[in-house]
């Protein structure tokens, strides 16, 4: 049975990653036909960094990803502390509402936000309400649950006596948060921030409905490329984005593993 599980796992990973491997190989291909490898070259990457339009679009995506993940991290951390202080049904209800955006289809979330922004635009008498700010608000909105999902377990694992000890030693509640609680939940905060960044960087569906012509992100613009032959330099762009996200996810997993091992060592030392 164990051997069958391993074979099944290999098959799953094969279908998950073989498209990215083909894409990466195509980014180093001299020819334009993805099915025929005509030789190794870095020309596609050189062409990519010469394309000011693609770099501008990538910059837009990075700006939205950095700002939205930073704001969502602050708001999500504060919200997690508030939810953690709740008890009983209230806490369960709030957590249920928090998890809805993650289970809700992206197209529903995108259309709903677009209708909301259009309604606000009518109220404020703004003709072109969709743009940078609507895109930023949308990305913060769908990033928040991922922050809360990563921070809440760290709050639950934290020894409640640490906060009480800090208060007994003269700290105010705010000082206790920054000197004790924040330090304990920092791995969860960093993991949530990295996840929010990656989700924002490659988001297409929600961004497609809430963005305007004045500020376009890379995934939205790339969608228009599918209606015509894709230039090989786009393969290079996809490969760089995939490698970046892969490194971030590896860093997040290493951070979580390091935090878990530290807590295990603390428990063993206290016995």
Banded model confidence at residue 1, pLDDT cuts 50, 70, 90: low
What pLDDT does residue 18 have? 86
Average pLDDT over residues 11-29: 84
Whole-angstrom Cα distance, residue 196 to residue 245? 11
Of the candidates 193, 256, 227, 232, the one whose C-alpha atom is nearest the C-alpha of residue 46 is 232
What pLDDT does residue 67 have? 96
- Cα–Cα distances in angstroms (integers) from residue 73 to residues 68, 116, 131, in the given order: 8, 23, 22
What pLDDT does residue 267 have? 67
Q: How many residues does the chain have?
A: 271
Is residue 257 within 8 Å of 249, Cβ to Cβ? no
Residue spans of the domains in the chain: they are 62-270
Per CATH, the architecture of 62-270 is what? Answer: Orthogonal Bundle (1.10)
Of the candidates 152, 18, 30, 26, the one whose C-alpha atom is nearest the C-alpha of residue 83 is 152
- Cα–Cα distances in angstroms (integers) from residue 250 to residues 143, 195, 221, 237, 246, in the given order: 19, 11, 28, 20, 6
Banded model confidence at residue 136, pLDDT cuts 50, 70, 90: very high
- pLDDT tens string 37-70: 788 888 888 888 888 888 898 899 999 999 999 9
Does this model's pTM top 0.85? My answer is no
Q: Evaluate if residue 90 carries a pLDDT over 80.
A: yes
CB atoms within 10 A of CB 144: 23
What pLDDT does residue 113 have? 92
Of the candidates 97, 183, 113, the one whose C-alpha atom is nearest the C-alpha of residue 148 is 97
Whole-angstrom Cα distance, residue 219 to residue 199? 12
């Amino acid at each position: 049975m164990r051997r069958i599980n391993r074979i099944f796992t290999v098959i799953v990973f094969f279908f998950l990653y073989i498209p990215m491997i083909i894409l990466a190989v195509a980014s180093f291909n001299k020819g334009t036909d993805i099915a025929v490898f005509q030789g190794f070259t870095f020309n596609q990457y050189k062409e990519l960094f010469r394309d000011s339009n693609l770099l501008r679009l990538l910059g837009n995506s990075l700006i939205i990803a950095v700002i939205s993940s930073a704001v969502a991290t602050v708001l999500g951390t504060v919200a997690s502390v508030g939810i953690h202080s709740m008890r009983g049904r209230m806490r369960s209800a709030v957590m249920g509402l928090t998890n809805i955006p993650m289970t809700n289809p992206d197209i529903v979330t995108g259309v709903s936000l677009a209708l909301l922004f259009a309604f606000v635009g009518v109220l404020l008498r703004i003709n072109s309400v969709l743009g940078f700010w609507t895109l930023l608000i949308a990305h913060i909105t769908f990033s928040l649950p991922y922050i809360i999902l990563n921070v809440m377990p760290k709050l639950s694992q934290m020894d409640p006596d640490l906060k009480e000890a800090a208060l007994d030693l003269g700290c105010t509640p705010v000082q206790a948060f920054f000197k004790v609680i924040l330090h304990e939940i920092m791995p969860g905060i960093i993991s949530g921030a990295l996840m929010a960044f990656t989700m924002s960087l490659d988001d297409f569906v929600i961004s497609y409905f809430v963005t305007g012509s004045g500020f376009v992100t890379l995934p939205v613009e790339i969608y228009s490329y599918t209606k015509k032959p894709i230039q090989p330099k786009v393969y290079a762009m996809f490969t760089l984005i995939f490698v970046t996200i892969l490194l971030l996810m590896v860093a997040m997993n290493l951070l979580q593993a390091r935090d878990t091992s530290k807590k295990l060592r603390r428990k063993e030392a206290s016995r």
